[in-house]
Amino acid sequence: MTMLGAHQSARAGAFAPLRRLIAGAMARDLRALVVPGVDVALAAGLDLSRAGLTEADGPRQANVLLVMLPLPAPMLKAATVAYAQMPRPRTVLVLGEGVIAPLPEPDSVR
């Protein structure tokens, strides 16, 4: 029987293998909801398939919210609603410069 340190708990690593399995599966199946749309991404020179992404049919099928900035305030609000509808785990990827509030801080910015 091993002794746990003060900062550890008995359950700390209980789900680590499951988390690795889910993370690995998600890394192979990245489905992006592109705001304002895939046509804008294509016009900007972004090929989703070459980036390892597939287009999601809607927010409930997406695990990546890809935001192309700049966006008008009403579209940012709509993107926030879509983000709230996405199942967890989810991530935000921002391309461009500008304000993304009320969306949460992006996980990655390019």
pLDDT in tens, 16-50: 676 665 666 566 789 999 999 999 999 999 999 89
Examine the pLDDT at 6 and tell me if it is beyond 80: no
Rounded to 5 degrees, what angle do the CA atoms 92, 44, 72 make? Answer: 60
Q: Where are the domains of the chain?
A: 30-93
Give 109's pLDDT tier (boundaries 50, 70, 90): confident
Examine the pLDDT at 82 and tell me if it is beyond 90: yes
Give me the chain's average pLDDT, please: 83
Residue 26's contacts (CB-CB under 8 Å, 6 or more residues apart) are 63, 89
CATH code matching the domain that covers 30-93, chosen among 3.40.50.2300, 3.40.50.12280, 3.20.20.70, 3.40.50.720? 3.40.50.12280
Q: Residue 108 has what pLDDT?
A: 75
